[in-house]
A and B are shown apart, each in its own frame.
Chain A
């Protein structure tokens, strides 16, 4: 079953600045009132890297990490699920989903997964 993307961003009620992750006070105006916003639509790839020296907890050869911007302006990091042969480019449209991104204590940890659309 397709899982909902469990990212919640916070829009400042005073100045409208969008935050992800959470901050107790707005980074722009320092007020404390926010409305929650969920990411919407596809995402545009802002930057990415293929990491070959992985940290403890990842028993695989490489990991592709990217930062994207959703159609409603939320920016987030995620894992790009592609093999080495796929050529990525900044500006590509990515299909977001919520999938296992690592295993901790024998259990899947879910996070933002991305696949190139274009």
Chain B
């Protein structure tokens, strides 16, 4: 297996992008990554596109075939990868394995989603189609609903408080305000969303015990990266970052069949695999992008990855340990909570954000000082298909 470097990255601002089609967004992010890699007028060997909803939301299939044509990357191999909200992570994995194996040298990975084209009613239903058709979907359960039931159990078992959930929201929206690619750029304070009368209006329940500010927005967006074998990289223009480890694991589709529904086994396994492959421990990680589709997930994942013991994640957030300048800064990009969650884009965007960090090219108010190792967790379904990547700056 060859070491695989990320030699180019690109992202477009997430949010509501009425003027752009899904293909526009995938193309814009891809072109930025090609330019960043210095491949402006060159082709690639293969393209992997992470997308969950093109067929349902845009009534469009064979998206990768369309993209290589639009970008004049013919005759590059092209595949669309659909794996729910982990589609982006799965696209990165496919590209990584293709380059690591020696089969391809230059691979474009791009993830994108256009979710604001339909009403919230339709978008909520689209995301809910990943639940079990007979045992879950027919009842009208939504992903916020799944998260609500999980949160209730997690709060009871580990004593997580609403104050800790609010602290995640405040931290990530503060960072989103510093990120030009973030969907939500508005900082918030505890007053108005937690402990006064205005919070009833400002921060209504969406799926109790979760409130509006516990959930990520529904976003449009795309992110891309170029993978290339480290051994063939000569005089790179930017500090090379390698994908030093990856892991992927699955769990039961329904929460009710898990012996302990608060145990996110797939997160533990995927991140352990990624860390072992990179020969690192959780304490060696300097910055992490975790899949905070709901505030509880940032806390739960921080424990399942091993940054904190079970039951300590919420205390760590309240103590500022996961903020920029803390012992393990988490979601410095704003995370899904503020950068947004265009489902097929998220797994790629997380890797792009870690590459920015490890290249040390962010402004001071976003840069984790001297970061060398970063980790991502891309959480598909309700934890039933999880990918994790460890990235390392090459000295």
Contacts and interface: CB of A to CB of B under 8 A. Distances in A.
A40 interface: no
A76 B148 CA distance: 16
B152 A49 contact: yes
Interface stretch (B26-34, B61-69, B186-194, B254-262): B254-262
Contacts of B125: 55-57
B164 to A, nearest CB: 19
Interface string A47-91: 111111111111000010111000000011111000000000010
Interface in A91-116: 101-102, 109, 111-112
Interface centre among A48, A49, A53, A102 (most CB of B within 10 A): A49
Interface stretch (B106-114, B199-207, B378-386): B199-207
A76 B136 CA distance: 9
Contacts, number: 106
Contacts of A44: none
B257 to A, nearest CB: 7
Contact of A79 (B139, B144, B207, B256): B139
B140 interface: yes
A11 interface: no
Given A77-B135, A77-B256, A57 B140 contact: yes
**How extensive is the interface on chain A, given as a class?**
20 to 34
B139 A55 contact: no
Contacts of A27: 252, 257
B346 interface: no
A106 B208 CA distance: 30
Contacts of A46: 153, 256, 261
A53 B156 contact: no
B257 A20 contact: yes
A79 B138 CA distance: 10
A77 B124 contact: no
B145 interface: yes
Contacts of B309: none
Interface centre among B125, B153, B206, B256 (most CB of A within 10 A): B256
Contacts of A101: 138-140
Interface in B92-137: 119-122, 124-125, 128, 132, 134-136
16 contacts: A20-B257, A21-B132, A21-B135, A47-B150, A49-B152, A50-B208, A51-B142, A51-B206, A53-B144, A54-B124, A56-B119, A56-B125, A63-B145, A67-B255, A77-B139, A77-B256
Interface of A: 19-21, 27, 46-58, 63, 65-67, 75-79, 90, 101-102, 109, 111-112
The 6 closest A-B pairs by CB, nearest first: A49-B148, A55-B125, A56-B125, A75-B256, A21-B135, A47-B149
